[in-house]
Chain A
Amino acid sequence: DAGVTQSPTHLIKTRGQQVTLRCSPKSGHDTVSWYQQALGQGPQFIFQYYEEEERQRGNFPDRFSGHQFPNYSSELNVNALLLGDSALYLCASSEGQLDQPQHFGDGTRLSIL
């Protein structure tokens, strides 16, 4: 049973560029959430997708956008990259039921030069 998978593992971009990160949820999970983890900090919630729609959003600018596909996989897009966007981006999936924990992938390490 595959867990949450994310690609790519590492990515290097320059300021102003755009990036797309991908996530496949754990089998049986229909809800995908994205988090940003800066060095020395806990993960910060970006947004959550359910039934191909953004259900919740954290305190992140519109440069951060996402998409969920009919097979429940998801993409995170970041436009006009800033140096401060350098972080580990984590995807988490869940069954969408109450009191079920979110399961995380290993993340994509994004470095902005």
Chain B
Amino acid sequence: DQQVKQNSPSLSVQEGRISILNCDYTNSMFDYFLWYKKYPAEGPTFLISISSIKDKNEDGRFTVFLNKSAKHLSLHIVPSQPGDSAVYFCAATNFGNEKLTFGTGTRLTIIP
């Protein structure tokens, strides 16, 4: 039972354009969502998070949007840079739990 789904295994975007990565979840108990970025041979690096009391959170070039009614979140990166090329994982949990449930990841490639 895949509770967190990233349906796009890969995405290619031109440098300078917007990258949009999507994530869907099925467990309505989830109330805290995170995005991690992973380079080869490194562990996941935390990017940005959002709690269910918000519908948007921004940090520099990264913005996460949450649509609770659709159980959908997205990560926007603008402008996209070559260093953004990596695998992006969406993760979900609920407060007081700390167990992260991950999606299968989306490989983002930024084309110079």
Contacts and interface: CB of A to CB of B under 8 A. Distances in A.
Interface stretch (B13-21, B62-70, B75-83, B102-110): B102-110
A99 B45 CA distance: 16
B51 interface: yes
B43 interface: yes
B100 A102 contact: yes
Interface residues of A, number: 26
Given A99-B49, A103-B46, A104-B45, A41 B98 contact: no
A99 B100 CA distance: 12
Contacts, number: 59
Interface residues of B, number: 25
A49 B45 CA distance: 21
Contacts of B95: 98-99
A48 B98 contact: yes
A16 interface: no
Closest 3 CB pairs of A and B: A42-B102, A104-B43, A101-B46
A6 B105 CA distance: 23
Contact of A101 (B49, B99, B102, B103): B49
